[in-house]
Amino acid sequence: MRRFQRGETVKEIARACGFVRSTIHGHLVAAIQCGKLLPPSRRWFFTPAQENEIAAALRQVNDGRLVDVSAFLGNKYDIGELRIFRVFASRSRVQRRR
């Protein structure tokens, strides 16, 4: 996570550490889930336009499967990125309820 916070991309971190990108995405998802990356951090991942596009696709795809959301978006985002978006969105909903 420190490398990401220093500005390295998921691809750069994966290459440097000898991991695949999905492993790095998984670590970032875990960091978001335990509160180490808070919802404002999502700007590191997505522009407001991308957030709107992904949120709209999640509403359109009835089954909610990320592989289907990715296909709906023309595979513009990989599953790891969509997982990160979904975790940020769910944390934001929980925080609004409090």
Q: Is the pLDDT of residue 59 over 90?
A: yes
pLDDT digits (tens, 9 = 90+) for 70-93: 999 999 999 999 999 999 988 776
Spans of all domains in the chain: 2-97
The residues, ordered by sequence, that sit 6+ positions from 22 with a Cβ below 8 Å of its Cβ are 79, 80
**Which pLDDT band, with edges at 50, 70 and 90, does 96 fall under?**
low
pLDDT, the chain, mean: 89
Length of the chain: 98
Higher pLDDT, 74 or 36: 74
Answer for the pair 40, 95: CB distance below 8 angstroms, yes or no. Answer: no
Q: How confident is the model at residue 60 (pLDDT cuts 50, 70, 90)?
A: very high
H or E element: which one contains 46?
A: none
